[in-house]
Structure 1
């Protein structure tokens, strides 16, 4: 029976992807003209050579392999330096070939020419969870993560106007300012001699979770309270476990497709924990759905447009799944960079104080719009240290990329972490220069618009981008208005754990400013 279930697991994870790609292919015309004929054959794309039996998967095996998952950023840089702007990684057990693209011109072409139904690189493990293991729960409305084709289009079309319109976030500024003040209050409680404990990132996780709950469900979880519900930490730990195990399941030998490995069991348990705890809060929000119209939650807005509780709850669930670690690690990284660049921090503080002369001055959407240097600091950190180091597309038809014939079914990976740190696309790329993002600065003219895309681009760009921007900007304003931030320990390298984040205890000093 175990072998039968394993076989079904393998078949289901591959057959769905092949069906979707075949369907998309019918709407495309293969690039078979002169461009295709004159292009270099796919076999000639440079890249590490696969070995018998294990292909290139052996490179991710501990001790014997030369690729470390937690340092994919450095692996990607080495691939670029050795092979150039287009690199093929073939022979990966259980997954299609990957094509690493380090050319923003080619990345722009891929985005500009993408299909009506873009196909992102598949996550077989999450695809299995949503469409096989918990199919009875997700049904045909599996959300936007690990969903493709018409099902993705139907879901996304119903939530785009709620999530991506410029005015979408205006009504949430007050709520997010409140949660940000709670983090400031928490900092004041936990710091010792102005320095916070090394696990400060976990406090930022709590703030991020609280913010998502306010936006998605219009509920207060009390994550930053001293007597917080234990489920708060369980949910944060589960999200971390999910993200940590994704690259292990996707890049290493996929034994999980044959039997329930310990990693796969932990992964499934984490997803179940996220689902169970989040659904408890979603159900509470559903029961109080009509009690307040002042700041309707995302859940309420979806139900007003399409009275489908499954769509509303699955969207909220996806927001919790991918919105906690990404936003919190971005904030941690920005705080660290500001602490390491005191001159830039001073410029930012002067901007904030000018617009918010007192610590109790209310933060508004209009005031945030005026803080151009704040946004520049965020963009510069995300350029140098994007929390998600790359994104990509899966080719749904034969096409020419970088002068090579690329067949359908190849996963094209855009490694922005490497590209955005090259002098070819950003002058003085190794320097933290927020000024490069100011339109009146000379450096502004010298960067490629597709060389740094922390939220992606096109039809499948990050659905929660505007909310993430609001959360990050607001909490930074609150913190910077109250504190001068310093760091007096060993300089931290970056690693992927599970986001691209400073590697080590985040023992920042928060020195109260004279009000």
Structure 2
């Protein structure tokens, strides 16, 4: 964003950053190499799984080993802190709103009637309130500040002629807490993401709470460049939160004004 001294001088902080990145690469490479060795061993033993049961890594290996390795490393590195932070935000919202947690638990109990009930594809299609809770937590505690894209052709944005090749940043942080786009924005209201629902008092139709401009809420981006791990993240969040809510009551008896902070 501006001239940086590290382009010319290897400062201590730069060296510390490079060491951290090298460490992350070594760890992820070890896991990826281990998985590749396991798949190659299975291939030699004649183990053949149908394509529907093959992992992303397994499918990519058939095309290009280098691409498969880079993609697997990228998904491991990009999906750890992001998913865990989103997971934590959802649990925090549910802890702060026990009445919403109770509604969610009632829904989850229907798909997981027993403590050790297994998830099935059919059962996880019937959890609209769970998905609504996750979306609402992403609105209240957004993980990323926005999206950036380079225009591939000349465009007109808000009356301005913007040439191709320009980087356009979309930063909706203030919009996510705006009453104009999200009525009762300060409240945790999963009902705004459900059709024909009402608020906690049974008075405010969900249609009055709904987002009028869908492009305000893009936690995973949009289009061909959207987050490649979206479906994996959705599954992890839904299964993890459902299992916790099914078996535990979530509480957080501490101040939450600055629940999340960026490390220095």
TM-score, normalised with respect to structure 1: 0.46
- 1:329 alignment partner in structure 2: 85
Question: Are 2:63 and 1:313 aligned?
Answer: no
Corresponding residue for residue 260 of structure 1: 10
The CA distance in 2 between the partners of 1:497 and 1:315, in whole Å, is 27
Partner of 1:303: 61
The 3-state SS of whatever aligns with 2:249 is: strand
Per the alignment, residue 235 of structure 2 pairs with 470
* Structure 1 residue 413, shift from structure 2 partner: 1.5
In structure 2, C-alpha distance between the alignment counterparts of 1:261 and 1:443, rounded to whole Å: 54
Gaps of 5+ in 1: 1-91, 95-253, 499-515
1:493 to 2:251 alignment: no
Match status 1:273 vs 2:50:
no
Change (3 A) 1:279 1:260: same
Query: SS at the partner of 1:327?
Result: helix
Where 2:39 maps in the other structure, the secondary structure is coil
Question: Could you tell me which residue of structure 2 aligns to residue 77 of structure 1?
Answer: none
TM-aligned CA distance change 1:460 to 1:329, over 3 Å: same
Match of 1:392 in 2: 148
Distance between the aligned counterparts of 1:423 and 1:362, measured in 2?
Answer: 40
Q: Of 158, 165, 173, which residue of structure 2 is paired with 1:417?
A: 173
User: Does residue 375 of structure 1 match 2:138?
Assistant: no
Judged with a 3 Å threshold, the aligned counterparts in structure 2 of structure 1 residues 354 and 468 are, in CA distance, closer, same or farther, namely: same
Moved more, 386-395 or 308-317: 386-395
Q: 1:402 to 1:493 in 2, by over 3 A?
A: same
Q: Per-residue deviation at 1:408? A: 4.2
User: Is residue 28–residue 77 contact of structure 2 (8 Å, CA) maintained in 1?
Assistant: no
Residue of structure 2 aligned with 1:357, choices 82, 93, 113: 113
Q: Give the secondary-structure state (helix, strand or coil) at the position aligned to 2:118.
A: coil
| Change over 3 Å in CA distance of 1:261–1:409 after alignment to 2 | farther
2:2: which partner in 1? Answer: 93
The alpha-carbon deviation at position 396 of structure 1 amounts to 4.1
C-alpha deviation, 1:409, in angstroms = 4.3
Specify the alignment match of 1:443 in structure 2.
206
Question: Any conservation in 2 of the 1:391–1:413 contact (CA below 8 Å)?
Answer: yes
In 1, the alpha carbon distance for the partners of 2:175 and 2:166 equals 21
Q: Per-residue CA shift, 1:85-137, capped at 9, x if unaligned?
A: xxxxxxx524xxxxxxxxxxxxxxxxxxxxxxxxxxxxxxxxxxxxxxxxxxx
Q: Is the 8 A contact 1:384 1:417 kept in 2?
A: no
Shift of 1:311: 1.1
CA deviation after TM superposition for structure 1 residue 427, in Å: 1.3
- Contact 1:299/1:312, CA 8 A, preserved across alignment: yes
For residues 470-493 of structure 1, give each alpha carbon's deviation from its aligned partner in whole angstroms, at most 9, with x where no partner exists. 001111011111100111112232
Is the 2:149–2:168 Cα contact (8 Å) retained in structure 1? yes
**1:143-182: CA deviation from partner (whole Å, max 9, x where unpaired):** xxxxxxxxxxxxxxxxxxxxxxxxxxxxxxxxxxxxxxxx
Q: CA deviation at 1:411?
A: 2.6
Tell whether the 8 Å contact from 2:105 to 2:245 is kept in structure 1 after alignment: yes
Contact 1:397–1:407 under 8 Å retained in 2: yes
What is the aligned length? 246
3-state SS in 1 of match to 2:83: helix
- Give, in angstroms, the shift of residue 287 of structure 1: 1.4
SS at match of 2:206: helix
Task: Judge conservation of contact 1:395–1:412 (CA < 8 Å) in 2.
Answer: yes
Cα displacement (A) at 1:264 = 1.9
Distance across 2 between alignment mates of 1:353 and 1:369: 14
Aligned-partner Cα distance in 1 for 2:261–2:146: 12
